[in-house]
Structure 1
Amino acid sequence: MHTDSLSAIAAGYHHSVLLLPDGTARACGENTYGQCEVSGWRNIIAVAAGNAHTGNSHTVGLRSDGTVIAAGWNKHNQCNVDDWHDIVAVAAGWRRTVGLRADGTVVAAGRNNEGQCEVSGWSDIVAVTAGDWHTVGLKADGTAITAGNNRYGQRNVNGWQELKMISAGYLHTAGLRADGTAVATGLNKRGQGEVGGWRKIKAIAAGSHHTVGLQWDGKVTATGWNDYGQCEVSGWTDIVAIAAGCTHTLGLQKDGTVVTAGSNAYGQCDTALLHGRSS
């Protein structure tokens, strides 16, 4: 089974998810709403975790046949994705789930009070990401399109060009350009948007109040809120994927090992559980 390493780990508000090479998934951390109940999932090729600032989270899995499965908080029907088909990528935000279809169109389920699910008119999309109150799509021409709340300018991406990756945090959006540089917009109170000096980046992840960049050499950099040590990633090496939650950060090494930084108050950094071992 082919798995994109960049979609193999996900960080929620207080939980973490790992996609194993055999197409199964494991999760650790807070399970108040059943967001960690993924042990029965099979034929999974990508995972996503809702990073809700309230702690109410859900987890989404994309199967190899293009269908989707979800577990966790479902007050706003964000887990009602059983009828989705031909999906090639998924994203989980606060109270909603977003799916990218093979034809470049997008579908969403969940809370839409601020228009964050109004994506049905999008086309030529190659990637999607979901923050708390806004949704962003990466278009095939390297530009971005958005929906939802823009109170802090998190949707101000109209001038962005030559993008290869996007990631939406709580109230900010980060983008990775084809030349390995990064850009960010939105709330910057914690310095989560200070990515202008980054170079040679191949992947980017936006957490609630911090932003993480995976460098070409497998090392990692981070900026923003660090009260729990979630930005203390400078010593990581051989990383092939990153994920940013609220108070923790995950890195997947090329040998399949998961490394963590930040709070473990809910067991979200108990990586032994992700690998099926006793902690």
Structure 2
Amino acid sequence: MMRKTKSLFVFGVASLALALITGDVAAQEILITPADPAISVGQTQQFTATGISTATALDAGSYHTCAILQDATVDCWGLNDYGQLGDGTQTNSSTPVAVGGLRDVATVTGGGFHTCARLGDGTLRCWGRNIEGQLGDQATAGWFSATPVPVTGITTALTVTGGGFHSCALLQNGTVRCWGLNDAGQLGNGTVAPSLFPLLPNPTPSEVMDISTATAVSAGGWHTCALLQNGTVRCWGQNNYGQLGDGTPVPTPATSRPTPVPVTVTGITTAVAIEAGIFHTCALLQDGTMQCWGWNDYYQLGNQSAINASSTPVTVDGITPASLAPGAEHTCVLHRDGTAQCWGDNQYGQNGNGSPSGIFAPPTAVVTGITSAIALTSGAEHSCALLPGGRVQCWGRGLHGRLGNGTTTDTFTPVSVVGLGVTWTSSDTTVATIDATGLATGKNSGITTIGAASDGGSGGTTLTVQ
């Protein structure tokens, strides 16, 4: 889930003193098995690398990112002021750290300052900020939990999504339950709770009204949307920038417009996927086109219109993506050929195409060097891609270490997350080639060196082709 920042702290929370983690990263030794095998021309050999973690899925929160690993555990990196990295500390990390005590993870989601995961048995765990009850553990006191806690009463979740200060789960029966902050009706239960301090947390999941056939759910900053079986989309919560897409005129200047019950997004009847950003939302349609609605101050809706906001969906010019990843004031998409595109605000390099800071890119330039991505996710001011071999690359703002490359430096092109994934090489491709999964194919007689490398280390072995 993605959050908004400019020069302010995103959600109006008082500024905090944040520790930055920097320094050198120790190299890891990668062991390749089998060692020094021999095959015939035309035969294949599967190699395996140990001593390195490989990512299978990932999701970005506002200022942190988490990845599910091959053993169904989770690593996170970035801001950790409320324990959202789950390692039992409140220390920021510019490299991945393991979430404590978490196993059998099926999906993970990053929220504003918290993180949640669905386990294989349909239960949920959350960690991080809990002032508003977004961890769902019925706690009415306590600011945060730096380790995972169980969400109360949910045992049949299909997925979970983290919003700014709330969370929602899609259940097997097509209903949706939400918990946490409800100052704009983002829980969808027909009520609005005051946002004055002391806050009135909603730490117990409650059912969203009038939603019984949902197939997907996505939480934004202060709003939530659900995709229904019939291809329509319904949204609820804050509507001050038209992010609910129901055609209600956008007020000028923008003022709070809580909507505590789901409303239907205008004109969308064939959606196959949805994703919510901080103040805007996007849908992928059955014909392959993409539509977005809500805030548009940096042209994040992708239609190159100067209008500040749209309360009805607009078509993104020339884009037919495979998946969507809206951020705060930028939007990214993954194409079927594995390339990625981003547009909108670029002051920290979040468009990933090497353009100078501050240039608002239209949806034309591709993200530099991303040619075989499997998945894509966006945070407030950064984005990350999952690549073959379990590798992850990120770009945009590096503050708090959210790019995972061992630094806190902004980057305008993708950089590799330390210690995740492996790149396979063959020193002589006329003898044998090797693909991104480590499968080598003998081409001609000879000897080649098979290498496995990550930003955290490397290893090698010989392959003889007879």
Using the size of structure 2 for normalisation, the TM-score is: 0.56
Alpha-carbon contact 2:184-2:237 (below 8 Å) kept? yes
Aligned equivalents of 2:59 and 2:234: distance in 1? 23
Change (3 A) 1:127 1:172: same
In the TM superposition, what whole-angstrom CA distance separates every residue of 1:198-251 from its partner, at most 9, and x where no partner exists? Answer: 433110011111111100101001111111111112431111111000111000
Aligned equivalents of 1:93 and 1:77: distance in 2? 12
Match of 1:172 in 2: 280
Alignment of 1:17-96 (within 5 A): 17-37=66-86, 38-50=99-111, 52=112, 57-80=113-136, 81-96=151-166
Aligned equivalents of 1:85 and 1:120: distance in 2? 20
Match of 1:3 in 2: none
Say yes or no: does 1:249 pair with 2:319.
no
Residue 274 of structure 1 and its aligned partner are, at CA, apart by 5.3
Aligned equivalents of 2:74 and 2:390: distance in 1? 13
Match of 1:239 in 2: 373
Alpha-carbon contact 2:270-2:285 (below 8 Å) kept? yes
Secondary structure in structure 2 of the residue aligned to 1:104: coil
Residue 254 of structure 1 and its aligned partner are, at CA, apart by 2.7
Say yes or no: does 1:129 pair with 2:208.
no
Secondary structure in structure 2 of the residue aligned to 1:60: strand
Aligned equivalents of 2:400 and 2:385: distance in 1? 18
Residue 278 of structure 1 and its aligned partner are, at CA, apart by 5.5
Match of 1:194 in 2: 302
Considering Cα pairs closer than 8 Å and 6+ residues apart, tell me whether 1 or 2 has the greater RCO: 2
4+ runs deviating over 4 angstroms: 273-279
Choose from 331, 339, 348 the match for 1:228: 348
Residue 277 of structure 1 and its aligned partner are, at CA, apart by 7.8
- The root-mean-square deviation of aligned C-alpha atoms, in Å, is 1.9
Residue 7 of structure 1 and its aligned partner are, at CA, apart by 8.6
Say yes or no: does 1:181 pair with 2:289.
yes
Using the size of structure 1 for normalisation, the TM-score is: 0.92
Match of 1:105 in 2: 175
Aligned equivalents of 1:268 and 1:40: distance in 2? 22
How many residue pairs end up in the alignment?
A: 269
Change (3 A) 1:92 1:240: same
Secondary structure in structure 2 of the residue aligned to 1:28: strand
Aligned equivalents of 1:230 and 1:145: distance in 2? 29
Aligned equivalents of 1:178 and 1:149: distance in 2? 27
Alpha-carbon contact 1:28-1:274 (below 8 Å) kept? no
Aligned equivalents of 1:177 and 1:171: distance in 2? 20
Gap runs ≥5 in structure 1: 1-5
Secondary structure in structure 1 of the residue aligned to 2:418: helix
Aligned equivalents of 1:235 and 1:188: distance in 2? 27
Residue 142 of structure 1 and its aligned partner are, at CA, apart by 1.0
Aligned equivalents of 1:74 and 1:242: distance in 2? 27
Alpha-carbon contact 1:239-1:252 (below 8 Å) kept? yes
Match of 1:272 in 2: 418
Residue 91 of structure 1 and its aligned partner are, at CA, apart by 0.5
Alignment of 1:134-149 (within 5 A): 134-149=223-238
Alpha-carbon contact 2:391-2:420 (below 8 Å) kept? no
Alpha-carbon contact 1:107-1:120 (below 8 Å) kept? no
In the TM superposition, what whole-angstrom CA distance separates every residue of 1:119-174 from its partner, at most 9, and x where no partner exists? Answer: 24311000000011110000011110011011111111221121111111111011
Aligned equivalents of 1:130 and 1:199: distance in 2? 23
